[in-house]
Amino acid sequence: MRRRASLVLLALAVFCAAMAPTLRWYAFPRLAKIPANQYQDTVLEARPATLLNYSTLKAEKVDKITIIQTLKGNVEESRRIERDAGRDVVVWDALAYVTGPDGKMVSKVPERYVFDAHTQDPVHATGESVDGDPVRREGIEFKFPFLTEKRDYQYFDAQTRTAAPIHYKGTRTFRGMEVYYFEQTIPWTKVPMPKAMPVKGITPKILADSGLTRWYTTKRMFWVEPVTGAPVNGEEIHKEELRNAKKLMGQDTLTVFAGHVKMREDYLESIGAMVSSNRLMVLMLVSYVPWSLTVLALVLLSLALWLEARSRRPRPEPPAAPAPTPVSAPV
């Protein structure tokens, strides 16, 4: 009976030992993925800010500028690209919609971002674009990889249409959560005019024909939860200028927009709650369950060896029967 029990325990130990690395190295890359139908919107604000008044052609201080960042999963495009790519792909149709203090549109820049559902690496496919212009992304955008490392990454900048290093600056605590802090600075760079202009009748071509050029710089900051790779906070110190504007606007350089853009408080709370729940699911796959299975395998193996040793121990021989006492015949 002991021999049979030890074989059962040994089989269970082998099963647990095999399942631990399987969950970490096989199941995790296949289960931890961005859903193709994800929808997310985030509101950021710059309070106060500087904004160009197109009616007076002067930069003015305003109470706030609002940026609504929308990410919408395009399931049909994901399936189309997956057939050729041979892997799970996510297509995000993104929109950065900027409004002034009066609620009127300042600019809107659409994007199509195609990436691997697990690694977040860009997948190059027809339709990849920024503001209608085809691009070939290098590096990540919007989200960092699962199990983010303490190192620099290439991060795509939609304004310049190029990737540049975003630097790991240390581990910090943000609202009780351990995060990695990343920082990227884009120096003054000439960038395309947005196709949607805030003044009716003014087009990018009219501005380009006048000799105007648009320049941009930003300091981009992310606080990233490393298990999920999701930013729990993001900020930018952002500035845009129109240059060579003297002929049209009376002075050579005009500030179009300047401000410290921060995520709105209610969105900080909702994103933090969402990241916390997703973090637990990822940890179950990469840490909690594999380590529990490893410990259980060692316990079961120890029990199996103990029972086997007991079954092989020689049984003690029964004590010898006492010699019969001789009986004397009566005299």
Residue 258 — pLDDT band, cuts 50, 70, 90?
Answer: very high
End-to-end CA distance of the chain: 58
Whether 125 and 131 have beta carbons less than 8 Å apart is answered as no
Q: Per-residue pLDDT for 110 more than 60?
A: yes
Tens of pLDDT, residues 176-223: 999 999 999 999 999 998 888 887 777 777 777 778 899 999 999 999
Tokens 């002067």 locate to 58
Whether 257 and 44 have beta carbons less than 8 Å apart is answered as no
pLDDT of residue 1: 45
Whether 50 and 255 have beta carbons less than 8 Å apart is answered as yes
Mean pLDDT on 239-250:
80
Q: Within 10 A of 157 (CB to CB), how many other CB atoms are there?
A: 20
Q: What is the mean pLDDT of the chain?
A: 88
Provide the residue type at 97 as one letter: Y
Tens of pLDDT, residues 116-159: 999 999 999 989 999 999 999 999 999 999 999 999 999 999 99
Residue 305 — pLDDT band, cuts 50, 70, 90?
Answer: confident
Classified as helix, coil or strand, 261 is strand
**Looking at 56-60, 127-131, 253-257, which range is the least confident one?**
56-60
pLDDT of residue 173: 96
Q: Per-residue pLDDT for 4 more than 60?
A: yes
Provide the residue type at 285 as one letter: L
Q: Where are the domains of the chain?
A: 1-21+285-311, 32-263
Partners of residue 179 on adjacent β-strands: 172
What radius of gyration do the chain's Cα atoms show? Answer: 33
* Residue 254, token pair as written in the block: 């005009």
Q: Per-residue pLDDT for 330 more than 70?
A: no
**Looking at 214-223, 232-241, 296-305, which range is the least confident one?**
296-305
Say how far residue 244 (Cα) sits from the centre of its chain.
39
Mean pLDDT on 106-123:
93
- Distance from C-alpha of 307 to C-alpha of 253, rounded to nearest angstrom: 85
Query: How many residues are there in the chain?
Result: 331
Q: Per-residue pLDDT for 9 more than 60?
A: yes
Q: Cα dist. 174→171, 222, 231 in Å? A: 10, 11, 11
Whether 82 and 88 have beta carbons less than 8 Å apart is answered as yes
- Distance from C-alpha of 120 to C-alpha of 98, rounded to nearest angstrom: 26
**Looking at 23-27, 127-131, 236-240, 250-254, which range is the least confident one?**
250-254
DSSP 119-176: T--B---TT-EETTEE----SB-SSPPSS--SS-EEEEETTTTEEEEEEEEEEEEETT
